[in-house]
Amino acid sequence: SITSNGGDSTIAVSVTATCVLTKPNPYNPKSGQKLKFFGSGVVPNDTKIRIFTVSGKPVKTLTESQGLNEIEWDGKNEDGDEVVNGIYLFVSESPAEKSHGKFTVVKK
């Protein structure tokens, strides 16, 4: 919100959109691929992604510690068990942003 004192001026505003996305989505752990979290919101060595079920139960916490701009997930929970089919939510935190998203796990 900008309030003028009656003057007339142009102000340049720069906005940088950041985001964290997943691929492939839907994700099939049996495909041999890992799910990748990527985008400008993933800061090398300084990003944490927490994965939850839709009911809010924690599934897995991932951190980027290899200097990469993406984080991979093998489809397993903290106990090392493969997750079941369904929709999962994630929260990402980095110096660039705090955001959330969702993805689907489908085993064929």
Q: How far apart are CA 50 and CA 100, in angstroms?
A: 9
Res. 17: pLDDT tops 60: no
- What does the pLDDT average to over 18-35? 92
pTM of the model: 0.81
pLDDT of residue 16: 59
Number of H helices and number of E strands within the chain? 0, 7
pLDDT in tens, 51-92: 999 999 999 999 998 999 999 999 999 999 999 999 999 999
